[in-house]
A = this chain, B = another copy of it.
């Protein structure tokens, strides 16, 4: 392949131990934003040159990414960005829906004042992204909004699974949204508001129901995109 023109080099001198985190964060973002497409080969040497460091810290970042399932490693052979499994999405939807329900309910139960601030801030960012018709920002801020809710639920086990699912979801959505111009985004903003209200009111039952409904809404939307229901609809 020809030389890939990626971002510039970070810094000629960096602190001891910052290299791994830097590479890990950046690579993770590039994978989730589909800058690195699923199936793309990942070359350690190339990354080492790009970041001006040896292969050792690069390797550690890759091991961590592999641990989260974001990259796949063929022993003694190439390593590449993990593929999205379109064939069985049902388990993904099941898990996503359940985590939406659980985290929203727990947030209504365990929230503290500072959580509400964080949640509201994320919601405003999401609303701003909708207003600006910025599909990428919508995807990212929506995930951040729900992650903030999960954080308020204070269950690290659920949170780690939910984060992983939201990441995977970011990749799916990013794959489909070129532009985002239907009426759904505003509906999401409204649904978010009702969810926040339920959390503020400590109404766990309502929060759970709203979380479920919101999840199902999103699942339906993704399924519609995958089936391609919005395609060609001309009179013959």
Contact = CB atoms under 8 A, between A and B. Distances in A.
A164 interface: yes
A68 interface: yes
A63 interface: yes
Chain A contact residues: helix, strand, loop or mixed: helix
A14 interface: no
B154 A91 contact: yes
Interface in A72-122: 75-76, 91-92, 94-95, 98, 102, 106
Contacts of A60: 59-60, 63
Given A63-B63, A64-B67, A95-B155, 12 more contacts: A59-B60, A60-B63, A63-B64, A63-B67, A67-B68, A91-B155, A91-B157, A94-B155, A95-B157, A95-B158, A98-B98, A157-B164
A35 interface: no
A165 interface: yes
- Report the contact-size class of chain A (Cβ under 8 Å from the partner): 20 to 34
Nearest to A56: B56
9 closest pairs, A vs B, by CB?
A: A67-B67, A95-B157, A91-B155, A161-B161, A63-B63, A17-B75, A60-B63, A64-B67, A95-B158
A106 B67 CA distance: 25
A154 to B, nearest CB: 7
A92 to B, nearest CB: 7
